[in-house]
C-alpha cells in the first residue's frame, strides 16, 4: 500500500484484507507502539507521512516500517505494501509477519490504550489472523524478543489482556457467521 496513505475504518480494513492479493504467507502478527508520536503529537495524515520520511530517509528503510498504523480515534492508516516483509522486530524474524504500530506511548503513566483504539487493535489482529487461519496466539509483542531492551508496545499493556480480547472477538464473529 504505497502512498498516498489512507485511513480505513475496521469494516473497510476487513474488506481490504479479504480482497488483497496476498503473495506471501502470514504466520504472525507483530504489535508495536510508536512511542513517538504519542497521542498528544498525533496529527493524522501528517504524522503518517512524517513516519514515512523518518523511516526512509533517517533509518534507510525502503518504505515506512509498518503495514498499518492504528490511530487514537481507531482509524487504521495504510502503510507499507502488505506483500513486503515489515521492518518489525529484526533478528531474522520479519519475513512472515504482518506488523502494526499503535499510535501512542503506552509505557505506564503515559497514554492509555482503550476505547476505539483498543477495539481497532483487537480488530486488526483478529481480522488478519482469521484471514490467514492463524490461532490467537500468533501474536508477538516486540518486547518478547530477547535481543531488545524495549518495553514496546508499552508497559501498561498486558499481553494476556490482548489475547483474551482477540479470542472474545473471534467467538463473537463465529457466532454471527
Footprint of Zn ion (CB under 5 A):
32, 142, 152
Q: How far is the CB of 57 from Zn ion (least distance, A)?
A: 20
Q: Which is nearer to Zn ion, 112 or 150 (CB)?
A: 150
Sign of CA dihedral 120, 123, 124, 125: positive
Choose between 14 and 139: whose C-beta lies nearer to Zn ion. Answer: 139
Task: Please state the closest distance from residue 157 (CB atom) to Zn ion, in A.
Answer: 12
Give burial (CB, 10 Å; 0-12/13-18/19+) of 44.
middle
For Zn ion, give the closer residue by CB, 152 or 157. Answer: 152
Residue 129 CB, shortest distance to Zn ion, in Å, is 19
Task: Quote the least distance from Cβ 58 to Zn ion, whole Å.
Answer: 17
Q: Which is nearer to Zn ion, 28 or 32 (CB)?
A: 32
Amino acid at each position: 500500500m504505497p502512498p498516498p496513505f489512507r485511513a480505513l475504518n475496521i469494516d473497510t480494513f476487513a474488506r481490504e484484507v479479504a480482497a488483497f492479493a496476498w503473495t506471501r504467507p502470514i504466520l504472525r502478527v507483530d504489535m508495536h507502539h510508536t512511542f513517538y508520536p504519542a497521542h498528544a503529537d498525533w496529527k493524522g495524515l501528517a504524522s503518517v507521512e512524517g513516519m514515512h520520511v523518518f523511516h526512509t530517509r533517517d533509518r534507510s528503510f525502503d518504505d515506512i516500517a509498518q503495514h498499518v498504523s492504528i490511530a487514537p480515534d481507531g482509524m487504521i492508516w495504510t502503510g507499507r505494501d502488505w506483500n513486503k516483509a515489515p521492518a518489525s522486530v529484526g533478528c531474522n524474524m520479519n519475513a512472515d509477519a504482518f506488523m502494526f504500530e499503535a499510535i501512542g506511548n503506552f509505557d505506564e503513566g503515559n497514554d492509555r490504550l482503550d476505547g476505539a483504539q483498543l477495539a481497532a487493535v483487537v480488530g486488526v489482529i483478529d481480522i488478519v489472523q482469521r484471514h490467514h487461519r492463524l490461532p490467537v496466539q500468533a501474536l508477538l509483542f516486540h518486547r518478547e524478543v530477547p535481543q531488545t531492551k524495549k518495553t514496546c508496545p508499552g508497559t501498561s499493556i498486558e499481553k494476556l489482556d490482548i489475547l483474551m480480547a482477540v479470542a472474545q472477538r473471534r467467538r463473537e464473529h463465529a457466532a454471527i457467521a
